[in-house]
Chains A and B, each alone.
Chain A
């Protein structure tokens, strides 16, 4: 049962433009959400997170938006840079759960 879904397996964007990655979840108990970035042959690295008490969190070029009623979150990267080319995973958890549920990932390619 896939509780976290990233329906776009890939995204191509021009350098300097905005990248928008989407993630949907089904478990209303999730109260903390994270985005990880993964380069080939490396482990996922933490990018940004958001608690369910917020609807937006910003860190430099990265902003995560949370819409609890729609069970949807998105990651915006502005402006996109070639170094942002990677696979991005959305993950979710509950405060008492301890473990993360990951989406399938979205491959982002930033072209010059």
Chain B
């Protein structure tokens, strides 16, 4: 059974460019989470969806960040325009709400904005 799939695994871009990160949750999971990990702030939640609907986006740092979940098997996190301080590892996680609190994480996307 495939776990959470994220793409790309690595992204290097220049300041000002648009960056799109992608996530495919585990089949059957109805909650999806986007996290960012940095040395300074650790692992912080950006946004989470339940049944494709954004429930809490209070962790989204600013308007340059947006996330969508058009269907149960796909989500994107977009940064436009990107800045060097956005450099981090971005994780997607999913879980089956109602049956377990456990979230399962993808391998992450390592983003470097030059």
Q: Residues of A at under 8 Å CB distance from B?
A: 32, 34, 36, 41-46, 49, 89, 93, 95, 98-105
Cα(A99)–Cα(B50), bound, Å: 11
Q: State whether A98 touches B55 (Cβ < 8 A).
A: yes
Q: State whether A34 touches B101 (Cβ < 8 A).
A: yes
Q: Residues of B at under 8 Å CB distance from A?
A: 4, 31, 33, 42-45, 48, 50, 55-56, 91, 93, 97, 101-108, 110
For residue A1, give the distance in angstroms from its CB to the closest CB of chain B: 12
Q: State whether A43 touches B107 (Cβ < 8 A).
A: yes
Query: What are 17 A-B contacts defined by CB distance under 8 Å?
Result: A32-B101, A41-B107, A41-B108, A41-B110, A45-B105, A49-B101, A49-B102, A89-B43, A95-B101, A98-B55, A98-B56, A99-B33, A99-B45, A100-B103, A102-B42, A103-B42, A104-B42
Q: A42-B107, A93-B101, A100-B103 are in contact. Are A105 and B42 (CB under 8 A)?
A: yes
Contact of B56 among A32, A43, A99 (CB under 8 A): A99
For residue B18, give the distance in angstroms from its CB to the closest CB of chain A: 24
For residue B39, give the distance in angstroms from its CB to the closest CB of chain A: 10
Cα(A44)–Cα(B108), bound, Å: 9
Contact of B102 among A41, A43, A46 (CB under 8 A): A46
For residue B34, give the distance in angstroms from its CB to the closest CB of chain A: 11
Cα(A32)–Cα(B95), bound, Å: 15
Cα(A36)–Cα(B35), bound, Å: 14
Residues of the B chain whose Cβ atoms lie less than 8 Å from the Cβ of A100: 33, 45, 101, 103
Determine the residue in chain B with the shortest Cβ distance to A46.
Answer: B102
Q: State whether B50 touches A98 (Cβ < 8 A).
A: yes
Residues of the B chain whose Cβ atoms lie less than 8 Å from the Cβ of A44: 43, 91, 105
Q: State whether A46 touches B104 (Cβ < 8 A).
A: yes
